[in-house]
Amino acid sequence: LRFWGPDTLDGKVHSNDKLCFQFGNGGWPAFLEFVTSCSTRFSFDPSPGPPYESIFLGGYELGYSYIYLPNTADSVRLYNGITPVLGNPSPDIVTEITLDYGTIYVRYRTADSLSREDPSSWVWLGGADHYTLGEMYPVPSSGALFVDDELWIAAPKNKPHYCDPGGDVLNGFQGQLTIAASGDIIIAQDVVVASANPDGTVPIESEDLLGLISEKHILVWRHCPNTVNITAALAAVGQNIPDTSKAKICLNGQISEDGQNGTISMDGINCYGIFNEKTELFIFGCLIQRERGLIHTHYSPSPDIPQEYRGFESKDYKYDFRFKKTPPPHFLTTDAPGACYFENYRES
């Protein structure tokens, strides 16, 4: 897990692996709260790094106890409130969910839509099209929804659906729900709760709670809007993921490689020749990932060729303190003492 200057993290940070720190943009990263790592050492670039007290303002501990992370969403599977279980077994079909107030809209379409920017060209099943959101379900009383498939999801507030930019404005999600998927979760545009403030935060008194768990990866769609807001608890817990993801499609002659362990990233970010830099990813909630996922990167094969920028230029992550006492229903639990979370993380 690598942090660059001048990243500032105001909240507890834990890694089950070694933490790496790199000098950048004129400074080192700073951690205002306690930092823990299971490793017995830190890594600095350049070495030996600055005095520890200038980075770990809230203190640190090495050799910390390992925090267990499950690789399946067992509680969501067990308490799934929509039957038969949503999903399509075909390798060429994906499931899409749209959340609007207390309604869950479900429809299915061909998997090749990942690489096609214009939704009006997508192929839908069952007579659906790009401006009908699909079959309607209420939020399950169990607070759990399992999708046995790759899942695309959107829940914009005060904006139309990305598939119908000229359509009705949607309202965000209202209720308490954790959605888990056996495949990748693709975030196509904003996923926010109805009570979210204009700045993307959620009032402390709000009862809206949303969790997303992928048993593989959570990926932001490469053709998403320039800014994406998320108010949810996110977890990508895949482990030893087989090379069968429906999201692994050809990009400029390359196959997108997202790794064998769960990450939160942008789809296609490892594919050279892709120019899709976005402005900002704002997350108000929490993040759990088995391995660090790339959110922004650049590459040039030689000094005379311009850099290729991919992903979000700026990232702003804030911890939702409501989750300390009231996490989304059936969200992940660990068997280790204590809690680990990001609070107020900005990188730009």
Decide if pLDDT at 347 tops 70. no
Decide if pLDDT at 65 tops 80. yes
232, 237, 145, 251: which is closest to 187 by C-alpha? 232
pLDDT at 348: 46
* pLDDT tens readout for residues 164-217: 888 899 999 999 999 999 999 999 999 999 999 999 999 999 999 999 999 999
* pLDDT tens readout for residues 320-329: 989 989 999 9
Decide if pLDDT at 41 tops 60. yes
Give the mean pLDDT of 293-300. Answer: 76
Q: Is 22 exposed, middle or buried (0-12, 13-18, 19+ CB in 10 A)?
A: middle
Task: Record the pTM.
Answer: 0.86
pLDDT at 153: 97
Show the tokens assigned to 207: 């009862």
Give the mean pLDDT of 30-51. Answer: 88
pLDDT at 282: 92
Give the mean pLDDT of 41-52. Answer: 89
* pLDDT tens readout for residues 102-132: 999 999 988 776 666 777 778 888 777 777 8
Confidence of residue 341 (pLDDT cuts 50, 70, 90): very low
pLDDT at 56: 93
Per-residue three-class SS string for the chain: CEEECCCEECCCEEECCCCEEECECCECCEECCCEEECCCCCEEECCCCCCHHHCECCCEEECCCCCCCCCCCHHHHHCCCCCCCECCCCCCEEEEEEEEECEEEEEEEEHHHHHCCCHHHCCECCCCCCCCCCEEEECCCCCEEEECCCEEEEECEEEECCCCCCCCEEECECCEEEEEECCCEEEEEEECECCCCCCCCCCCCCCCEEEEEECCCEEECCCCCCEEEECCEEEECCCCCCCCCCCCCEECCEECCCCCCCCEEECCCCCCCCCCCEEEEEEEEEEEECCCCCCEEEECCCCCCCCEEEEEEEEEEEECHHHHCCCCCCCCCCCCCCCCCCCCEEEC
pLDDT at 208: 98
Q: Is 160 exposed, middle or buried (0-12, 13-18, 19+ CB in 10 A)?
A: middle
Query: 274, 250 in Cβ contact below 8 A?
Result: no
Average pLDDT, the chain: 85
* pLDDT tens readout for residues 212-262: 999 999 999 988 999 999 999 999 999 888 766 665 554 544 555 567 888
pLDDT at 291: 86
Decide if pLDDT at 96 tops 90. yes
Decide if pLDDT at 343 tops 80. no
